[in-house]
Amino acid sequence: MNLDVYKLFLVHCAANALLLWLGYEWLGVGESTGARLALSGLDALAILTLVCWLYGATFAFFRMGTGLNAAFRGALRNLVPLVFAALLVLALYGAVAWGAAASDQPAFKLASWLTLKWRTPVKPATVARVFHVGFWILRWAVIPVVLLPMAPAVAVRGWRGFRELKWRAEWRDWLAAPLLLSTGFVLPFTVLAIVPALHGFGPELVSFVLRALLAYLLMVGSVLALAFATARR
C-alpha cells in the first residue's frame, strides 16, 4: 500500500469528522423565517458540495491511480456534475423512503385480496414485512450497485461520466455493496449500542470513547473499501 493511500485514509478520518460536525451544526439552524430557511438550504448545499469533493476525489484516486493532489484537483473541476448526481441520488432515496412509509396501506389491501383469492388468511403484517424487505434490498443493494459505478466516471470525466450508467453487475458486486454499506452505516450503531456493565464514570467514559472510535473507523474503512471496489469495476 503506497503512501498516498495512507494519506487518503488520514484525510478521510479528519474530513468525515468535520463533515459530521457540520451536519450536526446544520440541524440547529433555525427555519422560522424565509431568510433562515434559505440560509439552511445554502448550508446544506455547501455541506453536500464538500462531501462530493471529498468522495469524488476518492473515486478519481482509485479510478485513475494518480496522485492524491491530482485526484482532488480533478474532482474540483467536475464538482458541478458531482453535486448534480448527488442531488439526483438524494431525490431517488427520498422517493424510496416515501414509498416505504406509504407501503402499509397497499400491504393491507394486498393481504385482503390474497385472503379472498386463496381462501386462506394472510396477515397484513406478513405482507408488510415482505414489502419492507423489498425496499431494504432496493435501498442497500439495487440502487448502490446500479448507480455507484457512475460516481468515479463523473468524478473523472464530468458530464460524460453519466453515460457509464450500467444495469448489469457481477455477483461479487451484489454481495460487496450491501455488505460494505451495512458495515459502514449499520454496524457502527450496533457497536455504539453495546454497553458493557461497568461501574464508575471513568470506565464508562473510556468504553464509550473506544466504541465510538471503533464505530468511526468501521465507517471510514468501509467507505474507502467500497470506493476502491467501485472504482475498479
Strands (E), the chain: none
CB 30 within 8 A of CB 36: yes
Cα 115 from Cα 83, distance rounded (Å) = 47
Cα 76 from Cα 82, distance rounded (Å) = 9
Fill in the amino acid letter for 133.
V
Sequence-distant (≥ 6) Cβ neighbours of residue 123 within 8 angstroms: 111
Whole-Å CA distances, 149 to 72, 96, 101, 131: 19, 20, 28, 27
This prediction has a pTM of 0.88
In this structure, what C-alpha cell is assigned to residue 34?
424565509
Cα 172 from Cα 78, distance rounded (Å) = 29
Output the pLDDT for position 31.
Answer: 67
pLDDT along the chain (233 residues), means of 10: 86 95 86 77 93 96 88 95 96 93 86 82 86 91 90 93 78 86 92 86 90 95 92 74
DSSP-assigned letter for residue 120: S
Place of cell 394472510: 122
In this structure, what C-alpha cell is assigned to residue 149?
459505478
